[in-house]
Amino acid sequence: MNIHQMQMSYLTQEDRLILSINSQDKEEFRLFLTRRIIISFWDILNRTITHSLSAHATPDDLLTIPESQKQQMEQKITQQIQYRHIIEKDDYETPFNNGNKFPMGEIPILVEKITVNVYENTKIVLIFESNQSQNISLNLTPNYL
């Protein structure tokens, strides 16, 4: 699946977040995320983003200063700059386009577990698992983080 858009919104009636993912083929996947899932996922997501950004450090970043503290500070600054660049280039103006195909149904599935797999080539796979055996895997590149 090639991701076209992602949208996260809060449903007060359900007291849950709903993650809607729209593919370039106009397929839409809807996932309910509970407070418990978000709390456990938030930390691992931040660590994954940090790992992914540090994997993109340039050789110049690694050779500039031999002192470990200064090097760690530079790496954190570089990661923050990269993270800001990613956020600034995102499109927040275009409205979310609802899909016309729902491979998992129009009713959002309740996510019971999220698994994050990080590979050496900086590819990241998020697996959203439900208790109804309706799972969705998202293959992400650093462009989507």
Buried-exposed string 53-87: b where 16+ CB fall within 10 A, e elsewhere: beeeeeeeeeeeeeeeeeeeeebeebbeebeeeee
For the segment 35-93, what is each residue's pLDDT rounded down to a tens digit? 999 988 887 777 776 666 665 554 454 445 456 656 666 766 776 676 676 666 666 67
User: Which one has a higher pLDDT value, 84 or 136?
Assistant: 136
Mean pLDDT value of segment 109-126: 84
User: Which one has a higher pLDDT value, 57 or 25?
Assistant: 25
pLDDT at 140 over 80: no
How far separated are the first and last CA of the chain, in Å rounded? 16
Tell me how many domains the chain contains. 1
For the segment 4-18, what is each residue's pLDDT rounded down to a tens digit? 888 889 989 888 999
Q: What is the span of the domain harbouring residue 58?
A: 3-144
Write phi, then psi, for 64 (nearest 5 degrees). -65, -55
**How high is the pLDDT of residue 120?**
72
